[in-house]
Structure 1
């Protein structure tokens, strides 16, 4: 297909961007945005927009590496030295255990609220098993359709709720001016860092390849796909900020941190607007949480399969072959069954949470800085190397996440 034909068909072709953006926006991001709106109103609206731009830069760079070089992001990391393997191996193992437990529990919460006769642990088991079976028996094309549907549900429910609350236009526009109210620094960094971004951003290139985009002729379509997806996600996150500002800030209501805060919001909505509105919100809550589960079970399993292939000296395998590999399925099993032990305990093992926090805080700076390294070197064809704008976006992302890293490490080791 010629590039001009790709451009004409670009609206029909977009998809991988929705998968990566929806996967990255988890319940933790929703709660952080909601509480920022609750505490500071519209003042930090500008930070959500900056966060959206940062993620566009990161995802574009990841996709461009795959398409311009014909190599995966793990190929690129391996070319930088074996130290990347030493970092990645313990990280992905520990991350999968703790993420699996937290994601299954978070996704079970709205289901338990909608159907209280079924215990929370049973919903968590069902969430994990359904995700496992989905990625075991299906391929990327069906994942994209499912994720697009979930994005549509979460977008309509949450954006519709924000419109229903009739936001203050003047205050909304004022929030576009960068300001930092007292005590807002941590929330600001969280908003910029949390508009859809985890290890799953590294999976974007694999999903681009699974879509059938395999060379540089698809870079313009990939960029369009990436921008549309993250702008859509940005509107969704802004809608959560509006809900926090209009429903909680104006009424001086406070929510708990963590996923329980979203359930509290459901209670507030039911008290103020009735059960029907609360149910719609819980459906949106579930869609956001379950899209992250499906995306991780598929995308991070692909990344793990590529890692195992490099360890065994089997590189440059098609993404379809990785989807059927034992390593892909082994990691999907790892995300599902060992975390259920943590779910039944009622909380993650403390030592694992500490290690997870340390490794997890390092990943986004690692991604941003290695992309700068790869895309400014001879590993990338000259015409597709970084320009000043891409370098600026990745540098801002790297510096931002280094600051967040320092904050996370301080909290991890001091409990402050």
Structure 2
């Protein structure tokens, strides 16, 4: 779930563009980004398993401001992301079946995602995601193998270097690998799996490592494709860059190469849609539950959450509808690039909040000893906070350029 949701079409395009401009020189940045996101997701999972509370219950202890920030952010982000995810899923379907426009493919994808998450149990959703991850692996990694990566050049890319003009790409690769707000949903997925105590820490860490190693493999595969197939070419911005790659594969290898890649493009986009529809709706359902508690209420446990929130709660379903129907209006604006810019800025603004609050909560005296962060986790979370704060300021300033 974490790997599939965190890797979206935008991540693949950004990595592909970096590969086309700088070859394998920025491979090290992909690996650093994978380590950062692994540290963040491990911290989220550890908080849930050892504190006996959800992340929203933890944020409640910081003050009302944290709940106000998350609630406002989730509403604005969900409105923009809903349109982004649906249009990203519709693009490859339109390329495969052009008789139906992108707009209506996008609407259909949103409705299918709504039905799957509304009626499907977590175990069913996880099985569907597993199949789609298999499709992603075969098509995306298969494409990288087909274009024959230069292993010597890949090895040289492990040495950190900053070519002229590459800083923005480095920051994007380090900060963009593996999701934003969906990282906070990881703890809710551990609960859905039945992991509810510190006895599951080793399992969670193995699960987290497998998920983000998979994420790293996907992103490295797209760097390979950019370096080998698109070197020196001007790649189209936004999700349409993957359509450009499909056309390039068709020109170089024949139509047979284009079709499986477009199927993989759809799997990448649609898994992100399903994961957000489920995971962020779980977050919002818990936010609504936590928001309604009086200030005098005791600290809430995961048992309190499971009794009053979860996949069948009105707030979960209300947010699911919010992700699906209001954003459909944006699909008629025909301005996907502007949506991508706004979505990127919003995503960047959540990450310093997540890293900073995890640093505080996991070093609090309220945390049991087995859940507290040691120096490695604190070092990585501190680096994440500094990087994501810089990215947030940079993205915000970019909106007004």
Q: Partners of 1:259 and 1:348 in 2: how far apart?
A: 9
Q: Partners of 1:122 and 1:197 in 2: how far apart?
A: 26
Counterpart in the other structure of 2:311: 323
Measured after TM superposition, the shift of residue 210 of structure 1 is: 0.4
Q: Partners of 2:395 and 2:311 in 1: how far apart?
A: 34
Q: Compared with structure 1, are the counterparts of its residues 357 and 42 closer, same or farther at alpha carbon in structure 2 (3 Å cutoff)?
A: closer
Instruction: Check if 1:124 corresponds to 2:106.
Output: yes
Instruction: Check if 1:368 corresponds to 2:355.
Output: yes
Counterpart in the other structure of 1:258: 238
Counterpart in the other structure of 1:188: 170
TM-score of the two chains, using structure 1 as the length reference: 0.91
Counterpart in the other structure of 2:290: 310
The alignment of Structure 1 onto Structure 2 pairs a total of residues equal to: 393
Measured after TM superposition, the shift of residue 119 of structure 1 is: 1.3
Measured after TM superposition, the shift of residue 69 of structure 1 is: 0.8
Instruction: Check if 1:168 corresponds to 2:161.
Output: no
Q: Compared with structure 1, are the counterparts of its residues 259 and 218 closer, same or farther at alpha carbon in structure 2 (3 Å cutoff)?
A: same
Measured after TM superposition, the shift of residue 88 of structure 1 is: 1.3
Counterpart in the other structure of 1:101: 83
Instruction: Check if 1:20 corresponds to 2:2.
Output: yes
Measured after TM superposition, the shift of residue 139 of structure 1 is: 1.4
Q: Partners of 2:79 and 2:337 in 1: how far apart?
A: 10
Instruction: Check if 1:280 corresponds to 2:267.
Output: no
Instruction: Check if 1:346 corresponds to 2:334.
Output: yes
Counterpart in the other structure of 1:85: 67
Q: What secondary structure, in the 3-state scheme, does the structure 2 residue paired with 1:178 have?
A: coil
Counterpart in the other structure of 1:5: none
Contact 2:198/2:370 (CA < 8 Å) preserved in 1? no
Q: Partners of 2:15 and 2:341 in 1: how far apart?
A: 24
Q: What secondary structure, in the 3-state scheme, does the structure 1 residue paired with 2:140 have?
A: helix
Q: Partners of 2:209 and 2:91 in 1: how far apart?
A: 31
Instruction: Check if 1:380 corresponds to 2:367.
Output: yes
Q: Compared with structure 1, are the counterparts of its residues 97 and 131 closer, same or farther at alpha carbon in structure 2 (3 Å cutoff)?
A: same
Q: Partners of 1:359 and 1:74 in 2: how far apart?
A: 19
Q: Compared with structure 1, are the counterparts of its residues 44 and 381 closer, same or farther at alpha carbon in structure 2 (3 Å cutoff)?
A: same
Structure 2 gaps, min length 5: none
Counterpart in the other structure of 2:189: 207
Q: What secondary structure, in the 3-state scheme, does the structure 2 residue paired with 1:413 have?
A: coil
Counterpart in the other structure of 1:4: none
Q: Give the ranges of 4+ consecutive aligned residues of structure 1 lying more than 4 Å apart after TM superposition.
A: 352-359
Measured after TM superposition, the shift of residue 122 of structure 1 is: 1.1
Residue 398 of structure 1: which of 371, 378, 385 is its match? Answer: 385
Residue 294 of structure 1: which of 274, 277, 294 is its match? Answer: 274
Q: What are the residue-to-residue correspondences of 1:211-250 with 2, within 5 Å?
A: 211-249=193-231
Q: What secondary structure, in the 3-state scheme, does the structure 2 residue paired with 1:378 have?
A: coil
| Cα deviation 1:92-148 (Å, max 9, x = unaligned) | 111111000111011100000001111111101110000000000011111111111
Counterpart in the other structure of 1:12: none
Structure 1 gaps, min length 5: 1-18
Q: Compared with structure 1, are the counterparts of its residues 330 and 109 closer, same or farther at alpha carbon in structure 2 (3 Å cutoff)?
A: same
Q: Compared with structure 1, are the counterparts of its residues 287 and 407 closer, same or farther at alpha carbon in structure 2 (3 Å cutoff)?
A: same
Measured after TM superposition, the shift of residue 242 of structure 1 is: 0.1
Q: Partners of 1:151 and 1:382 in 2: how far apart?
A: 36
Contact 2:80/2:327 (CA < 8 Å) preserved in 1? yes
Residue 376 of structure 2: which of 389, 405, 415 is its match? Answer: 389
Q: What are the residue-to-residue correspondences of 1:43-58 with 2, within 5 Å?
A: 43-58=25-40
